[in-house]
Chains A and B, each alone.
Chain A
């Protein structure tokens, strides 16, 4: 059996090689299927493990409250707001909160200048509590202090990326930058946090909240974000329910009106990402199974052609003693090798593509192929080969020797 098997494999390879172009075109379906699954898996795997890490570092016990205006209301010019009064009210009345901080984004220009250098950055006004809520600490200098807020000092804490963009010295503390026409002294630089999905986490400038408020002229339209972290014993669900009730009351919402704010937890964000990735995986899975199906049919088709072409050869082999399984094996192995070949080419192309994608998007986590996906891709293409090879191989094996020999 062994030598017969070996010879079957050898002659299958020879026949694949003899029809090089045809074999390649036949495997294309499998190549595309496997390449797309590997490309997507390698990218999403890199992404999801990275996102997982990132959110874990954000802390699972923090949440963000933002105002939310439904699209129809936006069209009518209505804007929901979250005000400093809301913040005060929450500070006073909500339970289970460890630290809480407002965040006010620069609403006009987020331009920042140093000497002749100009950069755009995410500039936000916040308080000393931000470092606890966001788990973001300084590596050089100090963070914003409570007194900075009270006295509306013009100081800033910057991220590593900002320093880089503005060509600030290694130690930027005590340098002056210009924001919105005002001079700010840098008092500290944050620890580096890296990127999420190509967005730098280090491209931020923090200034005291009160300073930011005073920079923004019209204070009747102030719309802030509130970030808070929970005390150890607090349950995130309880707190969000409590906050919802408080805010709905404060905003005088009737029971039939929707919330005009959104409470987001890091966990929620992560779940959303997971959902997106899950969806992408399902869609790709669909595409892949279709292309594997098409690829399999392609292989079956070409194997049927090949059986017909080689009817006489099959007759000859049977006449000189080939048994059913000898012929079956030869064609089955040929189909298997064809689709495995497609699988391997697809694997290489898919990995190449995944690497290309993650390399061209700056800051994108690097592609990684888990071993299971290789096994799955090869396993699946092999399975497809065998599945769709059985029919033609059985057809060949069951040929009557005399009929096969007479075949013109």
Chain B
């Protein structure tokens, strides 16, 4: 059974008399340890798609099964639980808590699981070391570089050992050298068995992924599996 099963999902926004069809009938399955990229022009519905996958947003119609659970039927608190346990979300703008240091940020999702401080710290330290930030744990977000901030965000997504990692243009705010570092980290995480879904509009990033889904006007335009593993970035 697929990790994610999506059937005929739509997301409409009513803007006055006009209806914007951000998603217009999407069917997609994602298997465990998939490494998938959503690509497509601006406004094609990629972010909307990812937000729904991440249970941050609800579709207008359609079915979404995550790990066999029907997400549609869940209410806010249960969705919070899903976001906490099943999903690690990585944002383009990092979205770190400004008043907490790197360690505090990574520990935050564990608070909602009611894990004691010592255990929390141990898990967060491991996640930070995993992303190569073991020596910056007490820095506040504004004392870190963009790449370092995104690593903290990745550590925060990893620390709960979620079923899927979702990243919406994770390198959109980073320079090309840092982009390569982050993508190498993603490749490693995939190799370790994580399921990754990345939204991007950069071909170089999409080339890392094993499956590329192209979107257009809220629909899936092309869904191709790249065989033979990830290509190297040539930048």
Contacts and interface: CB of A to CB of B under 8 A. Distances in A.
Nearest to B117: A3
Given A3-B115, A4-B111, A323 B77 contact: yes
A324 B89 contact: no
Interface stretch (A94-102, A127-135, A311-319, A375-383): A311-319
Interface stretch (B63-71, B91-99, B178-186, B190-198): B91-99
Interface string A261-288: 0000000000000000000000000000
B152 to A, nearest CB: 12
B76 interface: yes
B56 interface: yes
A290 interface: no
A407 to B, nearest CB: 12
Contacts of A15: 99
B97 A324 contact: no
B149 interface: no
B83 interface: yes
A31 B51 CA distance: 46
A313 B108 CA distance: 12
B114 interface: yes
B56 A321 contact: no
A2 interface: yes
Contacts of A316: 95-97
Contacts of A2: 114
B77 A321 contact: no
A308 to B, nearest CB: 15
B80 A7 contact: no
A321 B85 contact: yes
A401 interface: yes
B115 to A, nearest CB: 7
Interface string A244-261: 000000000000000000
B88 to A, nearest CB: 8
Given A319-B89, A320-B109, A324-B77, A1 B114 contact: yes
Interface residues of B, number: 30
Of listed B54, B84, B96, residue having the most chain A CB within 10 A: B84
Contacts of A113: none
Given A3-B111, A312-B95, A313-B98, A323 B117 contact: no
A57 B80 CA distance: 70
A317 B89 CA distance: 11
B112 interface: yes
24 contacts: A3-B114, A3-B115, A3-B117, A3-B120, A4-B111, A15-B99, A18-B99, A315-B95, A316-B96, A320-B83, A320-B84, A320-B108, A321-B113, A322-B112, A323-B77, A323-B80, A323-B81, A324-B77, A325-B77, A401-B83, A402-B51, A402-B56, A402-B57, A405-B91
Given A14-B99, A321-B109, 16 more contacts: A1-B114, A3-B111, A3-B115, A3-B116, A316-B96, A319-B89, A320-B89, A320-B108, A321-B80, A321-B81, A321-B84, A323-B81, A325-B77, A402-B51, A405-B56, A405-B95
Top 5 A-B residue pairs of the complex, sorted by shortest distance between their CB atoms: A321-B84, A320-B109, A321-B112, A323-B80, A402-B57
